[in-house]
Amino acid sequence: MSIGAIFVYFMFGNRGCAWLPENRVKNMIGEKEIVVGDSILAVMNCIGLNNDDIYDLLKDSGEVEFSESETQTLPKTYYIEGYKDDLLYWAKFALYEEKDLAEVTEVFVEDARSCDINVTNEFFSTMPLPHKDVISIIESHEFRILEEAECHMEFYGISEEDLFEFHKTAVINIERSEPRKLPNPFYIMNGKLNNKAFSVKYIIGDNRTRIHSIVGENPTDC
């Protein structure tokens, strides 16, 4: 519950009317891991939608159309629409309450070209949070550099100032991150420091964001 609350706060803000049916639906979906099948992902790429657009539907700009939703079925399916570049677009979310998952099952963009998709919906992947939301979570507390990371900093010649700025331009490695791990979720961010590639692990605690380790091209003896 606490991890879900973190996601909801940084993604959707402190909604004053969270008890309204529309906001409750968007919060319920946002608290879960959102997955997408390969065929739906191919359609998204074809019609010009990305994961930020899907998450935007769960924010204030998205509207839940209950008349187009299926709330008496298992899983429940919710239709949420919004606008991108003045064009209507929508997505349907299947809410698997027992699996802690929400699946994007359909997408649409007004006036989009038709797509000939030759893949099945056999393989699924997690839809990463928008970069700005990951940044907000990482910056939610003061940083603390752990002993292992300090050793890595010395080995690679990384300054504290550069390390504290690293996450702002890095991208999340969703395969290696565990944003819903209890009690401490963590993020692996990939980027560059001094024109060299690095991965940095951030552990989100109750009071601190702990920089756990730094991995570069050359192995260390830390």
Report pLDDT digits (tens) over 138-156: 999 999 999 999 999 999 9
Q: What is the pLDDT of residues 56-105, one digit of tens each?
A: 999 888 999 999 999 999 999 999 999 999 999 999 999 987 888 999 99
Does 106 lie in the same domain as 16?
A: yes
Does 102 lie in the same domain as 203?
A: no
- CA atoms of 213 and 135, how far apart (whole Å): 18
For the chain, the 3-state helix, strand and coil shares in percent, each to the nearest 5, are 30, 30, 35
- CA atoms of 189 and 132, how far apart (whole Å): 13
Does 102 lie in the same domain as 38?
A: yes
Q: Are 77 and 64 in contact (CB under 8 A)?
A: no
Mean pLDDT, all residues of the chain: 89
Give the mean pLDDT of 191-218.
95
Alpha-carbon Rg for the chain, nearest whole angstrom, is: 19
Residue 11: band (very low, low, confident or very high) from pLDDT cuts 50, 70, 90: low
> Which of 127, 157, 190 is the C-terminal boundary of a domain?
127
The domain of 73 spans 2-127
Does 82 lie in the same domain as 42?
A: yes
Domain count, the chain: 2
**Is 142 within a domain?**
yes
Question: Per-residue pLDDT for 5 more than 50?
Answer: no
Does 11 lie in the same domain as 109?
A: yes
Provide the pLDDT for residue 18.
Answer: 58
Provide the pLDDT for residue 114.
Answer: 87
Question: Per-residue pLDDT for 38 more than 50?
Answer: yes
Residue 17: band (very low, low, confident or very high) from pLDDT cuts 50, 70, 90: low
Question: Per-residue pLDDT for 6 more than 60?
Answer: no
**Is 221 within a domain?**
no
Does 70 lie in the same domain as 167?
A: no
| Phi and psi at residue 49, to the nearest 5° | -110, 150
Question: Per-residue pLDDT for 14 more than 70?
Answer: no
If we measure between CA atoms, which residue out of 118, 121, 116, 89 comes closest to residue 105? 121
